[in-house]
Amino acid sequence: MSYGPVEYMIVGFPGNQFNGEIAPALSQLIKSDTIRVLDLVFVAKDADGNHVVVEYDEHDGLFAFSELDGEVGGLISHDDIQYAADALEPDSSAALLVWEDTWAKPLVDAMRDSGGVLIESARIPHDLVEPALAALRGDA
């Protein structure tokens, strides 16, 4: 089985304010076959700097995530969780998400079938793209 590009992100929530607003957006991306969730972990850090992994059924704001269709589990390691926890301020939380860009799988397959190899790939941050595009349009 071949895969499309696989990406990850760590989204922080200052004040441990998990809510379910991200879940419907993820669900829509899954239903439209844009992405496939491969792993999802929530971590919280208390005021003393201790961190804990939070399960879907342990926090009301996470219940919506239990409805997501995906192959959740196994890719995010204890080291990944520690890395995210180390970056968190006390009394904050984070979601660690790994997904496959299923929309890109046909392009990836075509590149491989033609003998192409990926030399480099990067995500350009939104805060860099938006001003550059505005300047090109003459908005700046």
Give the pLDDT confidence of 104-138 residue by residue, as tens digits. 999 999 999 999 998 998 889 889 999 999 999 98
Residue 25 lies in a domain: yes
Residue 93 lies in a domain: yes
Give the pLDDT confidence of 62-115 residue by residue, as tens digits. 656 766 766 657 899 999 999 999 999 999 999 999 999 999 999 999 999 999
Residue 37 lies in a domain: yes
Residue 87 lies in a domain: yes
Residue 118 lies in a domain: no
Residue 130 lies in a domain: no
Read off the pTM: 0.81
Residue 81 lies in a domain: yes
| Domain residue limits at 91 | 6-104
- Full 3-state SS string of the chain: CCCCCEEEEEEEEECCCCCCCHHHHHHHHHHCCCCEEEEEEEEEECCCCCEEEECHHHCHHHHHHHHCCECCCCCCCHHHHHHHHHHCCCCEEEEEEEEECHHHHHHHHHHHHCCCCCCCCCCCCHHHHHHHHHHHHCCC
Residue 126 lies in a domain: no
Please tell me the total count of domains within the chain: 1
